[in-house]
Structure 1
């Protein structure tokens, strides 16, 4: 990059959290701080038609309202398709947040595969 030029924020991956599709696109792995920049990056790089039915949240250290909204959108997509969003082992802090907001009823928490 030339001096004085900046990288386009809309396409730059956030440095503090990450979202990655694994297992052939069937699992979304969240890690670190899931905030509006991380969610924006996800929405710009993954088409809604490709959104998975499972989310691995074991590595989440913080989730903003934008992250919660993303979970709601993922859950709604699964419900429209006759399924249910599965969230793999959300950490205690995230489970408490989901319970306090009532979002724990929107999807199902599941244990990590052995």
Structure 2
């Protein structure tokens, strides 16, 4: 079980650092307000290389832009952003936008 630190929850969605800051958990509707709140709360230097998107129900262009920034940060460091089991709706969106090539989907830990 993950323990949340640095929650950025709003009424409709949240972005939370978990596992001691090693995992970013996205939940609910990830829109411009949720992303803005996250960016104000968490410094880019603290952005992790893994994103758990299993709880995403909607992602706006602001959410996609955040994902691209997370991936670029990892690429500059010589790594790759891991996206933990994105839901079907998010996988379709990533495929339609061509962003599925930017992230590596990984299974959730047992």
Superposition misfits of 4+ residues, deviation over 2 angstroms: none
- Quote the residue 1:17 is aligned against: 13
Q: Report the Cα offset of residue 25 of structure 1.
A: 0.2
- Quote the residue 1:60 is aligned against: 56
- Quote the residue 2:66 is aligned against: 70
Q: Report the Cα offset of residue 14 of structure 1.
A: 1.9
CA distance in 1, matches of 2:34, 2:95: 23
CA distance in 1, matches of 2:103, 2:78: 13
1:29-44 maps to which residues of 2 (within 5 A)? 29-44=25-40
CA distance in 1, matches of 2:26, 2:9: 13
CA distance in 1, matches of 2:9, 2:49: 23
Q: Report the Cα offset of residue 13 of structure 1.
A: 4.5
1:28-72 Cα distance to aligned partner (Å, 9 max, x none): 000000000000010000000000000000000000000000000
CA distance in 2, matches of 1:14, 1:31: 10
RMSD of aligned alpha carbons = 1.0
1:112 and 2:103 matched: no
CA distance in 2, matches of 1:64, 1:96: 13
The runs of 5 or more residues in structure 2 that have no matched partner are: 1-7
Bigger Rg, structure 1 or 2 = 1
